[in-house]
Structure 1
Amino acid sequence: MLLRTLSLLSFSLALFSQPLYAGYDRDHPLFSAYPQASINYGQMIDYEKFTLPVSVVNGESDPETFTPLALTGDLYRHTYEIRNVSSLKVYENYLAAAKQLGFKEIFVCTLDACGAERDAKALGGKLAISGSVYNNYRNPYYWIGEKDSPKGKVVVAWFVGAYEDTVNVQQVIVETESLETGLIKVDAAYAGQAVAHVEPLSEKEKAEDNPMLPRYPGAKIYDHKKIDTEIVKIPFAINAAEKTPLQLTGDLTKHTYTMENISTLKVYENYKAALTSAGFNFISQCELEQCGTEKQVNDLGDQLALSGDVYNWYRKPYYLLAKKSLPTGNVYIGLFIGGYEAEVGVQQIIVQEKTVQTGLVNVNADGLKQQIDADGKALIYGIYFDTGKADIKSESKPTLDAIAELLKRNPDLLLYVVGHTDDTGDGAANVTLSKQRADSVVAELVKNYQVASNRLQAQGVGPYAPASNNTSDAGKQKNRRVELVKRLR
């Protein structure tokens, strides 16, 4: 009896009433393994794209050619090994089971009808998890069929091939379905929208995730970090016209998440849907082959990865860079999503732009002396001026007190007081302004702190000796400074 040879699970129970599950070491609930078969490989991926041949494969061409059947849905793949049985008997049992369940044949080939040996080997490789059936392509049988269900169409395919006393079965089952989105929830309050109901996170998850963009359901944190006010570079996708990475300054969080038995496609579409609903604009993105060669994909992922290396998570890649303007500053999100076997790795970077908060470290005479002894100069950021003016503001007093104390404790110390500006505006005008500001500092120290005028000499160099870049607010802020440079005479 066929039912005793190949035990079948109830189609109605497995497909219509209960959710299907398969791991690396489990059969698909619809079709059990042939008796005494062992699983060499097993794979289940939630919502994946897969292409099955509905013709003989031309193994002589490069690339190999065949008539494709493109499918998207839950993908189950198995490679079974069975000893001391013919490929014919195994094939006939699977075929009988499929017909009993009402599957309709789409394409079939048997033995020589599957082409020459190279063709049969190529056909089996299209189904095999490893990409090859190795020697198990002799006496080949291939069958593909479909059946409708309330969940969607179910497609099943088998390639059965033999080598000596061993038969291998390459089994592919695709349960087609529409994409499920809404699995990722952007924190609505953070994104400047009305708050919608979101399932509460555990305290541990709240502490580890970025508060705006919690993890994909079931994802595990591989690594993460958070830095207050960092300079960050985020790349554009390889297909973008802009090649220079964004250089941003702000609060940084980086995460590497991993998840199993899901496709990079489904993860990507859920992130994209979540960011779209939260009002983010996509400024760069690429999908699969658009992301470039394997080396280019690796380089892109490496630039977002915490460790600087995406390891094996670069296959079937997706990348997006999104931005949203908020009253508190722009928020940028970069996501690189790649897979390896049945595992997905997500490299996530979030930057909330802000200017560098200063005034957190008090300037004192000892600190200034240490800088001068070590570097021959000390950088001063605590002397404030109105834009375009040289009048010292009252909040500069603590810094002036520290400079005066430095000179009092070190009576032989002679200084150049050098003014610097950023590169905004006319260069010559900035040189003049920087000299006027240095003159104001010298005048203040001489007049109100009784420092001998011959100990101080004012100079101004404008934007011509920058301490940082002039392309970001943080860089410009570092360039707007006064330096105390040690004079020898």
Structure 2
Amino acid sequence: MIKLSVLSACVASLFFTTTSWAQREISGHPLVALYEGAELGSGEQFEFDTYRLVTGFDFEDRIATGITIEGRITRLYHDNPDERSEHEIFANYLEAFEDAGLSVIFQCAGDGECFTGSTRNAYRNFNGFAAMNGGNSRYAAGTLEHDGRLAYIAFGTGRHGTSIDIIETTEMATGRVTVSAEALASGLEANGHVRVDGLLFALDQADLLPGSETALQAVAELLEQNPEMSLYVVGHTDSSGAFAHNISLSQRRASAVVTALVEQYGFDATRLEAHGVGPLSPEASQASEAGRALNRRVEIVLK
């Protein structure tokens, strides 16, 4: 097996100074070294855009399923060396990304896991992912820390080529989130409310993503250490989109946090009350992406 390495040095900050949708051709990405013997067939980067990440396959409806995220998007494709199998190439990339800290959300191998024999274009149809086209195709998607921020990685190997998509978000990577029961208690004591960093949601969705466990655990420890404490859990959004939709989205995100604390940690539901205020209480200007990213948050407030 040929050993790959995932590189992380000299990567630009992920706090974007522009929301440009401009596309440019590129020759690679600092996060990944191409498989030995492979030559880049195509590479493109969008400074800021939305991306539909495949995180599963619905065998009943025969379609790929996933979540929508946003950030700087890099898409790479290379032809496979003739003498290497799909399994070997994919295994090298998987090992390299896992060595770099990849937390896998979804992984599959071939017909019966990734898709069916008659639905091998499902990934291409979902988001243009080109490589998945044969019965021995392999695919994985996950998250890793990149320059202190959360990056999503999707990579797959088919009969002829390999696709690697990298989405660099403005969300803080879970491993670097400074959140603890003590920090939350201090914020509540000082201000009566505190933001809970590290609660992750897909774009325009209310389901908590993998990687939210650290933040949930901090709130759980706070409640355990203070058995008389009751909290409002308040969702906030940026100002993009319709006002009524944002109010609903923020409410549903707050409710998802309450549900997780009640169902996963066993807290009495009467101690937690979910509310959503949409864009009504921003922390920063809505004029920049960095400001909007700060405004998308969940806070806890003393009752």
Report 1 or 2 for greater relative contact order, CA contacts < 8 Å, sequence distance ≥ 6: 2
Query: Taking structure 1 as the reference length, what is the TM-score of the superposition?
Result: 0.31
User: TM-score with structure 2 length normalisation?
Assistant: 0.48
